[in-house]
Amino acid sequence: MNEFSLKYGCNPNQKPARIYMEDGGELPVEILCGRPGYINFLDAFNAWQLVKEIKESTGKCAATSFKHVSPTSAAIGKPLSPALKKACFADDIEGLDDSPLACAYARARGTDRMSSFGDWIALSDECDETTAKLIVREVSDGIIAPGYSEKALELLKTKRKGTYNIVKIDPSYVPAPVERKQVFGVTFEQGRNNFKIDRALLTNLVTKNKALPEEKATDLIISLITLKYTQSNSVCFAADGQAIGVGAGQQSRIHCTRLAAQKADLWHLRQHEKVLSLQFAEGIGRPEKNNIIDLYLSDEESGDVLGDDVWRKNFAVRPAPFTHAEKEAYLKTVSGVSLGSDAFFPFSDNIERAFRSGVSYVAEPGGSVRDDLVIEAADRHNMVMAFTGMRLFHH
């Protein structure tokens, strides 16, 4: 197949639409089910590159959840703690621990469930049955992977009444070294961003503290590869083998950092015992549970402002208050978080905000006229910071 006709482009009025190979060759994908659209394929191809690179760099299988051409999270196949399983709504999946790929997707989907609602999924390895069991019960637009087991494909084809978008990609496909796109009738051309992100990128440690454990280096690598396929400006927090907060597409870097930090804080708070012990009313769906948890964590006094009706409708037992002071105290216990930035920090305010969300390790390009002030702030908080020397803008 060297061309695939799309229903429309980004919007219904943008017709005709298609994907094709300029050289007339075969597309590197096979559509096994459904009819993916323009935005679906933008997500699919960006997401596939992300998981492919994470696996190449870390040696571990990877998964990502994409939405509107930016990842909500990305993760490698590490086992989940009991608390994280419950926080990710994956504690009832039998055999989860036996499937690293399922663990990777449970982490990626469970990081920012609100943003992942209606996501596009990418897997670095063949989709197995356990991973498919996780996917079929989530609201999702489609998936791209290098292959599917027979049982996994059978399960996925039941989703959305048999119309779920399932794409198989040739893992050996290598795109041309030059890429092009049009804007306003003008063709842009550039070399592909084939810059390799690996452990060697983290050797220029500019802070007094130079103790960078391998697992933290892996988190920094995951954050940087995630940023490579995130709409800029962007900042990514990572911990325990996954991106836990992505601040994407902001004009100001401090706004990227604040957004990513807020999402990372929510990821930590979702694993608090007060959240894990919430007793929902019978019949409350998974998306509704997630929205209520978000309200529970966002409301300063966890119910005092929202009112009794919300809790009476959604809970079997009214939740114990989770005060602002309790949340702040819990978040102050967080440390060891890694942070990547797709461009240099122009001011030290980013470091100060990151520290409040438990950041201990930082990777950024460097090159600001205020690098000395940024390093000074990192030293003040005993952080380890690497200058990578490489900007990772993505548009």
| SS3 label, residue 237 | strand
> Is 268 considered catalytic here?
no
DSSP state of 1: -
Task: Choose the catalytic residue: 13, 161, 194, 395.
Answer: 395
User: Strands 359-364 and 384-387, how do they pair?
Assistant: parallel
The token pair that represents 317 in the structure block: 């037992």
Question: Do residues 23 and 180 touch, judged by C-beta distance below 8 A?
Answer: no
User: Is 194 annotated as catalytic?
Assistant: no
Selected catalytic residue, list 68, 78, 151, 274: 68
| Cα 204 to Cα 10, 139, 333, 365, distances in angstroms | 42, 42, 29, 10
Instruction: Find the catalytic residue in 60, 67, 85, 133.
Output: 67
The angle, 0 to 180 degrees and rounded to 10, between the axes of the packed helices 38-58 and 214-228 is: 160
Annotated active-site residue in 233, 290, 314, 350: 233
The answer to whether 165 is a known catalytic residue is no
Render 178-223 in DSSP notation, one character per residue.
EEEEEETTEEEEEE------SGGGG--B-SS-----HHHHHHHHHH
Q: Residues of 39-64 as b/e, b for ≥16 C-beta within 10 angstroms? A: bbbbbbbbbbbbbbbbbebbebbbbb
Which secondary structure element, helix H or strand E, spans residue 315, and what is its range? none
Note if 272 is an active site residue: no
Residues designated catalytic = 67-68, 233, 395
